[in-house]
A and B are shown apart, each in its own frame.
Chain A
Amino acid sequence: MRNLSLSTLGPLAALILLIVLGASLNDNFLSAANITNVLARSAFIGMIAVGMTFVITSGGLDLSVGSMAAFVAGMVILAMNALQPQLGVGLPLALIGIGTALAVGLLAGLANGLLVTRVGIEPFIVTLGTMGIFRSLVTWLADGGTLSLDFAMREYIGPIYYGGIFGISWPIITFALVVVIGEIAMRHTRFGRYAEAIGSNDKVARYSAVRVERIRLMTYVFLGLLVGLATILYVPRLGSASGSTGLLWELEAIAAVIIGGTALKGGFGRVWGTVVGVLILSLIGNILNLANLVSPYLNGAIQGVIIVLAVVLQRKKTSAEGR
């Protein structure tokens, strides 16, 4: 493919560079424990970022995902705590939690999507609004404090985050599955092709009998579902939710998408690129923590530099291809 240019390989090269750097700075870097740790932490943002890739590819944006995750977590905890006296600690209650997460995520995504497609408001404005709404709702539900899952139930569902098979933890397995499905959906199904077409020029898509509004709606719903899924894996880890849960996740997810080479203006999406983006972002934090070179407080600054750099590379690509 002619597209194997700097902009395609750039993020991958950066990732390899980071791994080499990490390995040379600290012997523990390549240990199984550290790798699992990095991947598991990447999984939440990663799943959300895969959904975000579709939204951005089709010319949209979702700023509400971080707040949405907090809201979903809050609802899950409330639902499980409320039903625990009747159902007791066990699988049925866990399934209720899972169902609640997926349902709330789906509805939240649906709300965003309908406001964008039916009411016709700019995605930026819609999700800026719902970002505030979800965050405020969870703070209100927690009465300004923290919603905590009952301790016994927390013990019971702990393995969802901490367990796994063949030594690979569930978050990592789920993340990998989401990535594979996302990559296939983007490259090999109508949904992905339509998303790219709409982001490239929605008028052309409409004149090609593509159901533009429906596809757009689906991207937001898909993202909402993935937020729900990410929350299922997140709740067992801390067992609580508060007004500061999932803070700035939206920016991290968007940053990962952009670093991975998806165009912010839409029309071109790369799911595996997003994965690379997520890994780059979490490796930076990890390396700063392991090596005492730079203060970990500078994490944000370094991530910022990477984001800007990624966009500069993208710009180079488009100006080289255009006349």
Chain B
Amino acid sequence: MGDAVTPALALKDVTKSFGPIEVLHGIDFDLHPGEVHALIGENGAGKSTMMKILGGFLEPTSGQVLLDGAPAPFRSGPEAEARGVVVIHQEFNLAQDLSVSQNIWLGREMGRFFLDHKAMRHATQALLDQLECRVSPDARVHDLPVSDRQMVEIAKALSRNARVLIMDEPSAVLTSHEVQVLFRQIERLRAAGVALLYTSHRLEEVNHLADRITVLRDGAVVRRALRGELTEDCMATAMVGRDLKDIYPPRRSDFGPVVLEVADFAVPPLVEGIGFSLRRGEVLGISGLVGSGRTELAEGLVGLRPHTGTLRRNGAPVTLRSLSDAEDHGLAYLTEDRKERGLLLDKSLRENLTLSTLKRFGSPFLSREAEEAALGKAIQDFDIRAPKRDMAVGNLSGGNQQKLLLAKTMLPEPQIVIIDEPTRGIDIGTKSQIYHFIDRLAREGLSVIVISSDMPEILGLSDRILVMRQGRVAGVLEGAAITETAVVRLVMGTSESEKASENA
């Protein structure tokens, strides 16, 4: 791919600064029609910033954006969109209170004088069918789980007939089946000559999809490669700048007594008849499809949803009516929905970190110094990279937000922690850090429940795996019985597993 082809979209010597801090340094980059170009890099490397510049949502501080070889100073996202450059953002850009259909056609409503609701609903249905997404066009976005919101976001982008489609971690919140569907769409668009830019922290996806790879580190391009030139390990090394070994810690073996016993637990309307126990120092993985009730179960356990059944803590029955009850009994919960439930995006790191443990920071008057000290420690322990300490959390890179959320969850020093999707949107180096962190805590006596849609993660991290299907326990795997096929079989249900492997 030399100079013969004019790139559909290119950057020439682009830098970007936020205030005094330069986050992109002299980037040269091009994107050709009919290729899938993967952009990879650590959290905070500048991927999203670069994509926003390409899509017209940010202006470069210096340098140029070229569309078909000609300077194209987009002044806004919609302006770029009008010229065929469409972005799927890492953070959702949907109007929460509008329906799926209204969101997809927002700004381009059909109908001359009156809105043609029927046509829009019809077109939405067609788009969703194409994505094998079973959401109703009339559902409110607000009521959808994150994975469905992501599918709506993708449907919206597909409806725009883009020439250049920029996708910022579209797969981070999707399950493997949905990822497959997304890949088929990407391949269809590539064949149709669309220029595609893709980023993901799942390197196997990059390996599978990308025709070309650009690696960013600390705001500069450090590597460019063609398909097949880089193994996943090489990609990781290029991203992080050092060798990565032993991503997953070794399994633990000696566990203490049972600290949590759950029997006949139900979270209406979906989750029923759940029973399991958790030992001291154990990591219990919960696997299952999206919609299998994993999050509902977790939220029921910590008192965030109405539930029935018995819960024994160290052998004694307890009732947890609210999250603060749960905290009093040493339970903590990390939500999967970082932006809507986890963090206050317009507040500082400090205010976010201490929100759920504010009682410890002084009563009646809060001690700013104690809070700052806790933040300092969290930044160190969790390797949170924030250009400025007093910045709004919404301006942190996605992965650093996740690290902050983890720090916030661990601040009350719980004995049992339930982590819903621990490494969503986190780079491979940090992932490994987090796995070792969880391992260290488990060895110190913490009990962990990990809910994850990431198969390698659940396999690599868990001492036992509980698989859920349609709100019930489909099975529990332990020790040598933990294999990918065994988990997949339980996740899908035996009869469906063959069908699934055919599709794959």
Contacts and interface: CB of A to CB of B under 8 A. Distances in A.
A190 B327 contact: no
B358 A204 contact: no
A207 B341 contact: yes
Contacts of A196: 347, 351
A292 interface: no
Interface residues of A, number: 25
A202 to B, nearest CB: 10
Nearest to A322: B394
Interface string A256-290: 00000000000110000000000000000000000
B356 A208 contact: yes
A200 B355 CA distance: 12
Contacts of A1: 390
Contact of B366 (A193, A206, A323): A193
Given A200-B347, A207-B335, A190 B363 contact: yes
B340 A197 contact: no
A207 B344 contact: no
Contacts of A206: 304, 323, 341
Contacts of A201: 340, 344-345
B359 interface: yes
Nearest to B323: A209
Nearest to A268: B346
Contacts of A211: 322, 324
A238 interface: no
Nearest to A188: B365
A193 B327 contact: no
A19 interface: no
A208 B365 contact: no
Given A184-B365, A189-B366, A200-B347, A209 B52 contact: no
B343 interface: yes
Interface residues of B, number: 31
A143 B365 CA distance: 48
Contacts of A184: 365
Contacts of B342: 204, 207
A190 B366 contact: yes
A1 B388 CA distance: 12
Contact of B365 (A189, A203, A209, A321): A189
Contacts of B355: 193, 197, 204-205, 208, 210
A77 B57 CA distance: 61
A38 B344 CA distance: 39
A210 B341 CA distance: 12
A197 B344 CA distance: 7
Contacts of B57: 323
Contacts of B52: 323
A197 B366 contact: no
Contact of A209 (B327, B366, B390): B327
B2 interface: no
A54 interface: no
Contacts, number: 71
A2 interface: yes
B106 to A, nearest CB: 18
Interface string B314-330: 00000000111011000
A188 B356 contact: no
A194 interface: yes
Contacts of B262: none
B366 A204 contact: no
Nearest to B58: A323
B344 A203 contact: no
B392 A321 contact: yes
Contact of B346 (A203, A205, A267, A323): A267
A2 B390 contact: yes
Interface in A308-323: 321, 323
B51 to A, nearest CB: 12
Contact of A188 (B304, B343, B366): B366
Interface string B82-112: 0000000000000000000000000000000
Contacts of A323: 52, 57-58
B364 interface: yes
Given A190-B358, A323-B57, A207 B366 contact: no
Interface in A166-202: 184, 188-190, 193-194, 196-197, 200-201
Contacts of A208: 323, 355-356, 408
Given A189-B366, A323-B58, A209 B351 contact: no
A50 B52 CA distance: 41
A188 B367 CA distance: 8
Contacts of B58: 323
Contacts of A321: 392
Contact of B340 (A2, A190, A204, A268): A204
Nearest to B303: A209
Interface in A194-239: 194, 196-197, 200-201, 203-211
Contacts of A190: 358-359, 363-364, 366
Nearest to A198: B344
Given A209-B356, A323-B58, A200 B344 contact: yes
Interface string B386-426: 00001010000000000000001000000000000000000
The CB with the most chain A CB atoms within 10 A, among B343, B344, B392, is that of B344
A210 B346 CA distance: 18
The CB with the most chain B CB atoms within 10 A, among A194, A196, A200, A205, is that of A200
A190 B367 CA distance: 11
Contact of B358 (A2, A194, A200): A194
A194 B335 CA distance: 19
Given A189-B364, A190-B366, A321-B392, A207 B323 contact: yes
Contact of A210 (B333, B343, B356, B390): B356
A5 B24 CA distance: 26
A197 B350 CA distance: 12
A211 B304 CA distance: 12
The CB with the most chain A CB atoms within 10 A, among B52, B347, B392, is that of B347
Contacts of B351: 193, 196-197
A129 to B, nearest CB: 24
A196 B346 CA distance: 11
Interface in A1-41: 1-2
A209 B304 CA distance: 9
B368 to A, nearest CB: 8
Nearest to B391: A2
A205 B365 CA distance: 20
Contact of A207 (B304, B358, B363): B304
Nearest to B18: A323
16 contacts: A189-B365, A190-B364, A193-B358, A196-B347, A197-B344, A197-B351, A200-B346, A201-B344, A203-B340, A203-B341, A205-B344, A205-B355, A207-B304, A207-B323, A209-B327, A268-B346
Interface of A: 1-2, 184, 188-190, 193-194, 196-197, 200-201, 203-211, 267-268, 321, 323
